[in-house]
Amino acid sequence: MKILDIVKIIPKKNPRTGSDIVLTVNKEKIKIVWINRGKNGKILNLQNQSKPITIPRFLVLSEEFGEVLGMYYGDGTKNDTSCVEFANSAPELLLMWIKFLENYKIPKKEMKFIVKVAENAKLKYNISEDEIRDYWRNILCIPKKKEIKVVWVKTPGKPSEYIQRYGTVAIRYSNATFSFFFNLLIQNLNNFIIKSREFLIGFLRGVVAAEGNVNLRANGSLSLIRIAGNKKERNFISSLFIRYLKIRTKDDDSSNQIYISSLKNLRKVKKLKLVELNLRKKQQFEMGYERLIQNIKNKKHDSNCVLKNRKSLQLLYLLSKNSLTKKQLVKYLKISDKYVRNLLNGYTRKGYKYNGLKKLGLIKSVKINGREKLWKITPKGQEFLMQSILEFGQPYVNLELRN
């Protein structure tokens, strides 16, 4: 486990204000405060000085620490000089953020809780502010005396099916010194990532939990993972996936999102447990991934030319009677040479490669007369044909041979 000395990343002056940063360092802790001076160089009165903070001197670059910074990178208020604020609707992520602040000796009484709820939630759920406060107070264990502010956000149109019943909670801690320290951590992400692969994995896990979305197909199988962000953020996240994890991403400027697709990439995502923190997204991913693998095993995902194409079943039926060349298949099926070639060897549509009958092991070829091939049905193909006849009926696949 990599450990970093905080002293090494704290500058001598505040880059924004030019104030002197004063550190009181011992073996385990650091006290940080900056001294504001006037134009004449004299120290201003104490009322204009920053509130000091005391933090652990050493940072463990663990997965857990990476997860918090990843969450904040996705859904935190960055570059704010007066506070740190994290906003999300997932209770498990909000609890992680509270725990992080409490580890720095920041109690809940010093945090500010703001719940933003779409006005359409009133129409859809008939919900009140008191119900919203009670829900989050119980979930996040907020003391009864602590105020929870509810803000109604105007939302045009009809209530969406994805609208959050209890809204999104923003947890804010106002302290300029802590904000300076925390933004310093964000600015040193590259340094942390180079030093610790554990931190990198945790960071990307946090980003996916905060800004990622799991997309499923109509049949329930996993399609892709989307991660939203501005251009700079997307470039940074993409570079981490490609450079360190060998996971390819596609950038879409029109939607301000990057996409992770293909079974190869999704297998790596699963292996590294990158969709673990957000429980709702984790459940969607696991169910979709299982359905995807099952569909592939059943030849239902990458072989629709077999399951949905009557000509392919008729082709199997012809080969169950006699072995034929491609020219003969073209003649008997009354389709083009290209169409037969696609059924035999597969084809590509919209960037996805569909396997043909040969790749699926339903037919095989034997060379005759040099380059010409004679196509034959395999035992697996015979079995598949019989199942298709039982499912669709004999007339669906029958085809009379014509001279």
Closest to 200 (Cα-Cα) out of 231, 263, 248, 246: 246
- List the structure tokens of 369: 């007369």
On the question of pLDDT at 162 being above 80, the answer is no
CA pair distance 111, 109, nearest whole angstrom: 6
pLDDT tens-digit series, residues 271-317: 999 999 999 999 999 999 999 888 777 654 445 555 667 888 889 99
Q: What is the pLDDT of residue 40?
A: 56
| Domain extents in the chain | 304-397
Mean pLDDT of the chain: 87
Strands 222-228 and 212-216 come out as: antiparallel
- pLDDT band at residue 140 using 50, 70 and 90 as cut-offs: very high
180-189, 321-330, 384-393: which range is least confident on average?
384-393
pLDDT tens-digit series, residues 163-199: 788 999 999 999 988 998 999 999 999 999 999 999 9
CA pair distance 34, 13, nearest whole angstrom: 8
Q: What is the CATH number of domain 304-397?
A: 1.10.10.10
Closest to 62 (Cα-Cα) out of 54, 51, 72, 70: 70
On the question of pLDDT at 260 being above 80, the answer is yes
Strands 373-377 and 112-118 come out as: unpaired
For range 247-256, the mean pLDDT: 91
CA pair distance 318, 363, nearest whole angstrom: 12
The strand pairing partners of 212, in sequence order, are 227
Quote the pTM value.
0.73
Q: What is the pLDDT of residue 255?
A: 87
The strand pairing partners of 324, in sequence order, are 375
Length of the chain (residues)? 403
Q: What is the pLDDT of residue 399?
A: 67
Residues 6+ apart with CB under 8 A from 187: none
